[in-house]
Amino acid sequence: MIGCLGTFITGSDTSSNILFGKLQASVAGQIHVSPDWLSAANTVGATGGKIISPQSIAIATSAGNQQGKEGEILKAAIPNALVYVAITGLIVYIFSS
C-alpha cells in the first residue's frame, strides 16, 4: 500500500521505490521478515499506484481525446487498483511468512 501511495503522489514507480524502498527494508528487519519480500512488495504496490496516478490518467485522457473525463476514469480505476494491491499484498504476506 505504501508503494501505491508513493506512485499516486509522485507519478513514478521509480520515485516511489526511491522514496520508500529504504523504509520497507528497515521495517522488514524490525518485524523479522525478508527485506527482499517487502522491497518487492513496494515495487508491486508502486505498479498498482500507476493505475490511479493523476499523471497517467491525464496522459491517457489526452491521448484518447477524453479531456474532462479524468474524474470518471479515476473513480472507475480506484476499485481495480485496490483489488490489485490487496491481492499482491496477500501474496507477499503468504510467501514472506
pTM for this model (two decimals): 0.79
pLDDT digits (tens, 9 = 90+) for 13-56: 899 989 888 888 898 889 888 888 888 888 888 998 999 999 99
pLDDT digits (tens, 9 = 90+) for 40-49: 888 888 998 9
What percent of the chain lies above the pLDDT cut of 70? 99
The Cα–Cα gap between 70 and 24 comes to 31
DSSP track, 19-37: HHHHHHHHHHHHTT--HHH
